Amino acid sequence: MSKNYYDILELGKDAGSAEIKKAYKKMAMKWHPDKNPDNIEAAEKKFKEISEAYSVLSDPEKKEIYDKYGEDGLKNGDIGENNFTSADEIFKMFFGKQAPFDDNIFFEKRNPVKKSESKVVTIPFSLKECYNGTKKKVTLKIKKICTGCNGLGGKNPRLCNGCNGSGLKILNRHVGPGMIQRIQTVCNVCSGTKNVIDVICVLCNGNKVQVEDKQFILTLEQGINNNDKKIYENNGDQYPCELAGDVIFVMKEDENKLFKRIGNNLVYNHSISLGDSLLGGLISFNDLNDEKIVFKEDNIIKHDSYSIIKNKGMPIKNVVNNYGDLYVTYNIIYPTKNLSVSEKELIKKILPVTNISVSNSEKMYSSKLYNNFSIEELEKKSRKNEYNNFHEARNGFQGMPPGMENMFRGFF
């Protein structure tokens, strides 16, 4: 059944805009759920009805459609489906920002205010900072409700008459005899902001918010982990009619060229000469704080050997004086210059060498020596060759029946 908006607002069909406003004001005050704590459900229903009726009858275009076609004529718009939030919005726009009664707390509780979006900021930290713990000063530009206009954008804000505070306008386009197409567009009077102001605020230029510098001092405790978050609740941007958002700092560990962190352990790759690897002895390098680490390995150090130094890894977060381990891997540097004949003789005396003889009847192959073999490189090269072979082969298939060509392709 079609709703009678005039009945709802207790008005006659010929009511003018002043009468409609007056009726809405009276009834909205009476039926606002905050005024009816003992009868909330019924009041809310009634309040929605009143707001819906007002949103239609106070808008000349909507009113015209309603008068002609009834509620059904408006169904394409979003007016008929008014929820409490938009009903309340109409109410607030009508009465200005301040609700007309004091027991606002009750109202806020039932309708949690939207929280502005969180600000996410990445904070890079080095392994050294993580090892020692540090503090970081961060200044952010934070949006605040303008103090000059209290977030209204200017003086005397009022509900936009052009769109009745919806920010949208419904235009009727005649597309044929008796046929009207209804198009929803952004209101041209308020540009979709839902209200209009007489004098624009000079402090915020009508933007309703001001930007201010806010300083945060972050404590990065020892052993802080990559992607750890530090959240400052309600310290972020705030927009009108919203709660301030959060500021979320996300810790990002910088890559260290020398040390790699694996959990609480550190891995360090140490280069030693071939001679050192054979003889063993003292090994020394500097830690993250540029302090000298010295230890001794008496045995032969092979290319896949590693040493563990206990408690010289990363500090364990929230556990005082507890550290992971330091793993030392080895990179053995061979001499770049070939040995002389006499040096070779010396080596032969101390290291086992293979003596292979070749007879004149046996074939000797030629070869070339390279450094740094990589199986991935070889695979990449092979794939490239296969691809080239395929394309060469395909050119050779010219003139073959298609079925046969596909059969051959399967081989490549």
Which residues are near Zn ion by CB under 5 A? Answer: 146, 148-149, 160, 162-163, 187, 189-190, 201, 203-204
Using the structure block, give the residue that is written with the tokens 């009143």.
50
- Smallest gap from Cβ 256 to Zn ion, in A, equals 48
Q: CA–CA separation, 149 vs 112, rounded Å?
A: 24
Q: CA–CA separation, 234 vs 364, rounded Å?
A: 80
- Smallest gap from Cβ 108 to Zn ion, in A, equals 23
- Smallest gap from Cβ 166 to Zn ion, in A, equals 7
DSSP state of 118: P
Indicate the helix (H) or strand (E) that contains 90.
Answer: helix 84-95
Q: CA–CA separation, 33 vs 323, rounded Å?
A: 60
Nearer to Zn ion, 168 or 218 (CB): 168
CB atoms within 10 A of CB 192: 15
- Whether the CB-CB separation of 126 and 257 falls below 8 Å is answered with no
Taking alpha carbons only, the member of 135, 139, 137, 138 closest to residue 219 is: 135
Nearer to Zn ion, 11 or 209 (CB): 209
- Smallest gap from Cβ 237 to Zn ion, in A, equals 15
Q: CA–CA separation, 54 vs 91, rounded Å?
A: 10
> Coil, strand, or helix at residue 229?
strand
Residue type, 154: G
Nearer to Zn ion, 55 or 277 (CB): 55
Nearer to Zn ion, 79 or 204 (CB): 204
Nearer to Zn ion, 149 or 272 (CB): 149
Nearer to Zn ion, 170 or 190 (CB): 190
- Smallest gap from Cβ 189 to Zn ion, in A, equals 4
**DSSP state string for 119-140:** EEEEEEE-HHHHHH-EEEEEEE
Nearer to Zn ion, 195 or 222 (CB): 195
- Smallest gap from Cβ 212 to Zn ion, in A, equals 13
- Smallest gap from Cβ 21 to Zn ion, in A, equals 16
